[in-house]
Amino acid sequence: MKRLFQPNIISILLSVLILASTASIRSAKAEGESSNLSYFVSTPAAGDEEETQIAEILSNACASEPNTGADTASLAAERIRFDEGLISHLSSDGKQSRNQRLIAAFAAARRVLEHSLDVDWSGWNKTLVDFRSDVYDCYAQNQSAFASLAVSMNIDLQRACATCGKVLSRDLRAADIPLTATGRQETQLSWRQCAALYYVFGEDLSNVLADTLCVQQEGSMIRGVTIRWPNPAFDQIAADGTKEQLVEAKLALYYLNTVYLEDGTVAPVSTVTFSKEYLATVSHPVPGGIIKNGWYDPRSHRTRLHIGTDIRISAKTPILAVTDGVVLHVGYLPIPGNYVVVRDPYGYEYHYYHMYELSTFVKEGDTVRQGQQIGRVGSTGNSVAYHLHLGLVSPDGVYLNPYDLFTQAGIGPVQTN
Ligand SMILES: [Zn+2]
């Protein structure tokens, strides 16, 4: 896969052209900002004289880079190298304190990672077949494309993190700050994780990875600095965005974990047998409601499968927690409508969808007891009748059929046809 922004002479050349085409050259990127390399270029359009000047600057920069004698081109080229993380400070700010240089060194390492992960999305998107960003199944149909993206991302991550380490080592040595480098970046993305993150973040995926996987500083300038490589769980990577993006990424990953095998083929339906101990911990969320087995039913014009149990019952019926647990998420998304997610002491997640309103009965972080009201039955989101959709996720992130859970626990009534 081709990557943009390799710090080669072409990109420097092009950027010098952009930079030189304006009288006021300034970088849009302040220290520590997470956006990609970008410049605000104020026009007037270049006249003949300016064009000649640009050509001159370019030829100078090109001929003598990196030790160009032409001051303008040299400064412009230095600014580009700074923005790409290849140098940690500019000639113009040579009076930095050691602490400022420490901060600048980590910021430079951060930029290195960001630029190294600058995927050529336009090229990659061409490998996708019948891609619709709103349909999970399209991600599995494109399993091989996501598999190659994951491989490429993982290689880039390792390479970029090694460069980060070198940048830090060089800059801190120059500032006479002791550095202990420890370990290396360990996170490896699977195709499912890649697809789920891409589903939510799109082409911002590389920025999200740079934010969450970049080297972190421990220690101080005086006592010495230690490099720490974070090894975040999927949830922590997805949490780089908004709360809704985190929940969507989790739902997409659970879906891909459940419905598709590693090679992208559809996983057969399997029935899980719950332990007697576990079955004793559950109860009916809307007592009296008929529990329907709608597992794998087609949804959204057969573009995705139904992964849960529907329990039809009248509007505003109290929804009771199936188990004890902690409220992980309360929110709204287009398909679930108003939802509440509760994790029980065994690590199972219960997803309650289509609630009448954004729940005021519980808030995130609350501890709930089995049978406690957590919301009211509604028909929000992708729903055409008042009902509770209940989803159940195993501790390893796979949806299980709540219908199996209830029948094995002897909880009903259940619909048998
Ligand atoms: Zn449902």
Cβ neighbours around 8 below 10 Å, total: 8
CA distances from 382 to 352, 353, 376, 379 (A): 13, 9, 16, 8
C-alpha span between 96 and 193 (Å, rounded): 41
CATH of the domain at 359: 2.70.70.10
Q: At what angle do helices 9-20 and 48-64 cross, to 10 degrees?
A: 150
pLDDT in tens, 300-317: 666 678 899 999 999 999
Question: 227 and 305 in one domain?
Answer: no
Question: 315 and 227 in one domain?
Answer: no
Ion ligand 1, residue ranges at CB < 5 A: 308, 310, 389
Question: 102 and 69 in one domain?
Answer: no
Give me the pLDDT at residue 24, please. 33
Tell me how far the alpha carbon of residue 386 lies from the centroid of ligand 1, in angstroms: 11
Show Cβ contacts of residue 301 under 8 Å, excluding neighbours closer than 6 positions: none
- Last residue of some domain: 37, 52, 84? 84
C-alpha span between 144 and 273 (Å, rounded): 32
- Last residue of some domain: 58, 84, 110? 84
Mean pLDDT by 10 residues, the chain (417 residues): 38 42 34 32 42 55 44 65 72 69 85 82 71 64 84 89 85 85 84 90 89 86 84 94 94 91 85 94 97 81 80 97 98 94 98 97 98 98 94 96 96 85
Cβ neighbours around 93 below 10 Å, total: 11
Give me the pLDDT at residue 4, please. 37
Tell me how far the alpha carbon of residue 305 lies from the centroid of ligand 1, in angstroms: 10
User: Could you tell me which of 149, 341, 150 has the C-alpha nearest to residue 244?
Assistant: 341
Do the beta carbons of residue 109 and residue 164 sit within 8 Å? yes
Reading the block at residue 111, the tokens are 């930029």
Question: 183 and 69 in one domain?
Answer: no
Show Cβ contacts of residue 368 under 8 Å, excluding neighbours closer than 6 positions: 321, 324, 325, 326, 327, 342, 362, 374
Tell me how far the alpha carbon of residue 390 lies from the centroid of ligand 1, in angstroms: 7
Tell me how far the alpha carbon of residue 371 lies from the centroid of ligand 1, in angstroms: 21
In a domain, 262, yes or no: no
Owning domain of residue 215: 96-256
Give me the pLDDT at residue 364, please. 97
In a domain, 50, yes or no: yes
In a domain, 166, yes or no: yes
Tell me how far the alpha carbon of residue 242 lies from the centroid of ligand 1, in angstroms: 25
C-alpha span between 376 and 355 (Å, rounded): 6
Question: 158 and 225 in one domain?
Answer: yes
Q: How many distinct structural domains can be found in the chain?
A: 3
Tell me how far the alpha carbon of residue 377 lies from the centroid of ligand 1, in angstroms: 13
Q: Concatenated DSSP letters for 342-365?
A: EE-TTS-EEEEEEESSS-SS--TT
Reading the block at residue 52, the tokens are 């000649």
Tell me how far the alpha carbon of residue 310 lies from the centroid of ligand 1, in angstroms: 5
Question: 72 and 151 in one domain?
Answer: no
State the Cα torsion 241-247-248-252 to the nearest 10°. Answer: 120
C-alpha span between 335 and 239 (Å, rounded): 20
Give me the pLDDT at residue 238, please. 96
Question: 163 and 142 in one domain?
Answer: yes
C-alpha span between 286 and 317 (Å, rounded): 7
Give me the pLDDT at residue 68, please. 35
- Is the whole-model pTM more than 0.85? no
Tell me how far the alpha carbon of residue 71 lies from the centroid of ligand 1, in angstroms: 66
Cα distance between the two ends of the chain: 51
In a domain, 332, yes or no: yes
- Measured over the CA atoms of residue 133, residue 135, residue 138 and residue 143, the dihedral's sign is positive
User: Could you tell me which of 304, 292, 372, 306 has the C-alpha nearest to residue 340?
Assistant: 372
In a domain, 199, yes or no: yes
Give me the pLDDT at residue 227, please. 86
In a domain, 104, yes or no: yes
pLDDT in tens, 105-135: 888 888 888 888 878 888 777 776 665 666 6
Reading the block at residue 18, the tokens are 């952009």
